[in-house]
Chains A and B, each alone.
Chain A
Amino acid sequence: AQSVTQLDSQVPVFEEAPVELRCNYSSSVSVYLFWYVQYPNQGLQLLLKYLSGSTLVKGINGFEAEFNKSQTSFHLRKPSVHISDTAEYFCAVMSRGYKLSFGAGTTVTVRA
């Protein structure tokens, strides 16, 4: 079985500053990794995913994430955030059976 730990529950950040959201997973088998974003009162939408190949994955809205197999991590970064990036971010893992396991989420609040 796999589990996902998002190390920060809340991340306040100023507009135009960089942000990093940390995600660690545990799994004994190969995994596929995802980041989803949930804007207030909306469903989740995919930011990016790692399936194979290059460990640096670029997603929508200027986000990127790096897969680190030795540290079992998949941290999400953005070099300069906007007010509109205020949202909840979920890391998720998929392995056998193609079912997603989600982390508890990180709330990002961007302030002017």
Chain B
Amino acid sequence: NAGVTQTPKFRILKIGQSMTLQCTQDMNHNYMYWYRQDPGMGLKLIYYSVGAGITDKGEVPNGYNVSRSTTEDFPLRLELAAPSQTSVYFCASSSGGVDTQYFGPGTRLTVL
């Protein structure tokens, strides 16, 4: 049982490039989340999903897109990378409601 896995661990992008951050969970959780963590700012919710085919915006969705075609996978897409998107990105999953959210190890992204 691997829990929540994220790839890649590190990535450097040039301004204007695009990339997809991968997230997979093997706990059969319906709910999945993407957060970004900036120094001294805590975590901010980017997007979340309550099940396959259903996604919704969080607090900071601009510049990102998501899809949820399966229960296991919840990729996050950056279309035109900007320096403001330099951050650490965490994916999480849960059974929903007040159940514990389980976090992946994170992807450290730098946009130059």
Contact residues of A with B, CB < 8 Å? Answer: 4, 9, 32, 36, 41-46, 49, 51, 90, 94, 98-100, 102-105
Contact = CB atoms under 8 A, between A and B. Distances in A.
A43 B4 contact: yes
A46 to B, nearest CB: 5
Given A42-B105, A43-B4, A44-B90, A100 B40 contact: no
B97 A99 contact: no
Interface of B: 4, 40-45, 48, 58, 90, 92, 96-98, 100-106
Given A36-B103, A43-B4, A100-B101, 8 more contacts: A4-B42, A32-B98, A41-B105, A42-B105, A44-B103, A46-B100, A99-B45, A100-B43
Q: Which of B92, B103, B104 has the most CB of A within 10 A?
A: B103
